[in-house]
Structure 1
Amino acid sequence: MTTIDYSVWDHIEVSDDEDDTHPNIDTPSLFRWRHQARVERMEAFQKQGEELEKNLAESRKKLQEAQKKVQELSLKSTEEAKQQLVKAQEEEKRLKKEERNCEKKVDEYRREEKKMPWNVDTLSKEGFSKSVLNVKPEVKEETEEEKEEKHKTFVEKYEKQIKHFGMLRRWDDSQKYLSDNPHLVCEETANYLVIMCIDLEVEEKHALMEQVAHQTIVMQFILELAKSLKVDPRGCFRQFFAKIKTADQQYQDAFNDELESFKERVRGRAKIRIEKAMKEYEEEERQKRLGPGGLDPVEVYDSLPVEMQKCFDEKDIQLLQDVISKMDPTEAKIHMKRCIDSGLWVPNSRTDDDGEKDEKEDESQYEEVKRESSDGQTTSDSK
């Protein structure tokens, strides 16, 4: 037989209505005062819990910002950045301790909350009222392909407007333009402005890059504000402009620091892109230079002995024949084959049906150069 656990009833606070009171005391008033005192205690306790939760949330937010700052400074190598990193790490350590203290207080509050006795105000519930909440549907995570397609479609439609926003300078002008075009307040605009900055830096339009970089950080700050407030960015960009125009020095410094860091990252990305383009160009030029045997004439020339280089510099065939005749036959044969494969030396080619040279042909070409050298030497002796 199942037993019933009655221990839960130990925490029920008996109603004041059952208390015996003195005949001369106004019983209804006494009950009202007691009830009011109990409600006030409950409200004060609840307010305390809300304050503790709020402090914990703020502590965690500050810690996240401090950790982000430590990560950013750790990527920099300047002496000033190293000093700032030490301070940032100390701040991070302090905030971690503060977060632990807040968590401890919240845990203590929850334990006290469980110990509180039930009463008529906590047991009773309304039976015929209901609240309907418009719950925001869970946002499905987009794939990389979907994000790319979304970005492409957005840019094709609003590229001109994004560029116009990127060229604005005054806070008021930027705010008015976004008020007229609120659809621009989104990740796609920020991403396009980043690409635009890198393109301008590659083109060495440094002043324009810095202007667009400023507007990029404006958009990113708006998006970050929207995330922290958990609202649509189109609904909070006015708050950003109101804040930045009346901000204290600390907020202005944070904005300027982020702007300078962003410009440095843009310059770094532009440098990488330029280096990559130069390598691709050099490789294309190298491919164009390749001789019939697939060798680069510049590389082959650099590998030749100085005497042979001089022959090609002066375009002196007789001198080349003389140099070949004095070299070790095996070494000379290797050099001549590389010269032919790179196109530095173009002999009277004898190819097979497929147009490919075989080893016997290479040897015959070497022997031809050597023979011509010998013939030239004999003629010279006879004279």
Structure 2
Amino acid sequence: MVDYSKWKNIEISDDEDETHPNIDTPSLFRWRHQARVERMEQFQKELEEHEKNKKENERKRAEIKEKLKTDLPNMDEMKKALSDLEAEAAKLKQKDEEIKKKEKTTPWNVDTISKSGFTKTVINKQAKPKEENLSEEEREARMREFIKKYEKELKVFGMMRRYDDSKKYLQEHTHLVCENTANYLVIWCINLEMENKHDLMEHVAHQTICMQYMLELAKQLEVDPRACVSSFFSRIQIADKEYKNSFDDELRAFKERIRKRAAEKVAEAMAEAEEEERQARLGPGGLDPVEVFDSLPDELKKCFEAQDIPLLQETISKMPEEEACYHMKRCVDSGLWLPEANKDKADAEPIYQDAASSSNK
């Protein structure tokens, strides 16, 4: 019988391979990997400091015990120092137990999993697929071809919930156990969240993490991902509290990343739509009529709002010539004011010139 306990605590927090560009950003999991590395480095420092303190304590105790064998005048002081050191040694021993417990409960991951204990883990080992050195264009083409061919099957898997059903389906459709499936599910989750289909996103997110777990396990064991389907689902169905908590934590973090990325994409789409709308309404002189209107003095705004040309002429005539020319030229360049159509372009001066001239009479 396979001893699954050897890998029951595997921390799946990152995907270190290059992902398809449609994933939006290759740093989708990178920050979790960095946090994990920092935790490991901090723990290693604590361990080294602890070992240093233990050795120093042992050295001092041995030194005092040697001195106590001789008849020295400050025996009481040395006995007290020895007592303090032994109390410290007891605390260090207690910390030893805490460290062992922490090591035992810390999930394995990509940086710690390759240990000799795995040589005894029995798994149906299929040859690991060769890694192809593809360009981004080739990866994208492969991804499009994969989706076109298997999208219906991908959606069926994404909508499953029961582990037994998922296991059976993947065993019958082994071609789905790959990075392309994981990438497709991530994209689908983002799109669902952008469409405000939050419950459905969470449903598909669960299947995404299941696929990520299988791919990560295959990476750690250096086997074909298809060999890990049965092992993963057997493990997750009989998972102890720690393993299940690890899975749930990863799922929660993934859903939060999806929500954040979807919100960013919605904001980007809105900004892009606003810019397209702005470009579409630019006048013949390249100015935005909305921006120009907002910059007009209130008295000119009233003229345009009322579409009252006589009032506009009267208002312009009362303004200083330079100011009138400035505002009316911007109105023409933005398309807010169109010069009379029956005038030739050579002498088709906007209304502000006539109005400004009349103001000087």
TM-score (norm 1): 0.61
Which of residues 262, 286, 310 in structure 2 aligns to 1:294? 286
Query: Aligned residue for 2:335?
Result: 343
Tell which deviates more after alignment, 155-164 or 142-151.
142-151
Secondary structure of the residue that 1:236 maps to in structure 2?
helix
Q: How does 1:79-158 map to 2 (within 5 A)?
A: 90-91=42-43, 93-94=45-46, 139-158=131-150
Q: Distance in 1 between matches of 2:170 and 2:185?
A: 15
1:186 pairs with 2:146: no
AA aligned to 1:368 is D
Tell me: CA distance 1:156–1:85, structure 2 relative to 1, closer, same or farther (3 Å).
closer
Query: Aligned residue for 2:250?
Result: 258
AA aligned to 2:352 is Y
Gaps of at least 5 residues in structure 1 are: 1-57, 76-83, 99-133, 376-383
Which of residues 52, 72, 84 in structure 1 aligns to 2:32? 72
Gaps of at least 5 residues in structure 2 are: 1-6, 15-26, 51-125
Q: Distance in 1 between matches of 2:253 and 2:43?
A: 21
Q: How does 1:159-170 map to 2 (within 5 A)?
A: 159-170=151-162
Tell me: CA distance 1:92–1:337, structure 2 relative to 1, closer, same or farther (3 Å).
farther
Give the fraction of aligned pairs with identical amino acids, expressed as a percent.
Answer: 52
Q: Distance in 1 between matches of 2:216 and 2:49?
A: 26
Secondary structure of the residue that 2:285 maps to in structure 1?
coil
Q: Is the 8 A contact 1:321 1:372 kept in 2?
A: no
Which of residues 313, 321, 332 in structure 2 aligns to 1:329? 321
What is the RMSD computed on CA atoms of the aligned residues? 3.5
Q: Distance in 2 between matches of 1:176 and 1:140?
A: 29
Query: Aligned residue for 1:313?
Result: 305
Query: Aligned residue for 2:205?
Result: 213
1:367 pairs with 2:319: no
Tell me: CA distance 1:175–1:347, structure 2 relative to 1, closer, same or farther (3 Å).
same
TM-score (norm 2): 0.65
Query: Aligned residue for 1:79?
Result: none
Tell me: CA distance 1:138–1:322, structure 2 relative to 1, closer, same or farther (3 Å).
closer
Residue 263 of structure 1, CA deviation: 0.8
Tell me: CA distance 1:316–1:372, structure 2 relative to 1, closer, same or farther (3 Å).
farther
Q: Distance in 2 between matches of 1:290 and 1:137?
A: 55
Residue 230 of structure 1, CA deviation: 0.9
For residues 218-274 of structure 1, the C-alpha deviation after alignment (integer angstroms, 9 at most, x for no partner) is 000000111111110101111001111111111111111111111111111111111
AA aligned to 2:287 is L
Q: Distance in 1 between matches of 2:311 and 2:224?
A: 80
Task: Give 1 or 2 for the bigger CA radius of gyration.
Answer: 1
Q: Distance in 1 between matches of 2:30 and 2:284?
A: 57
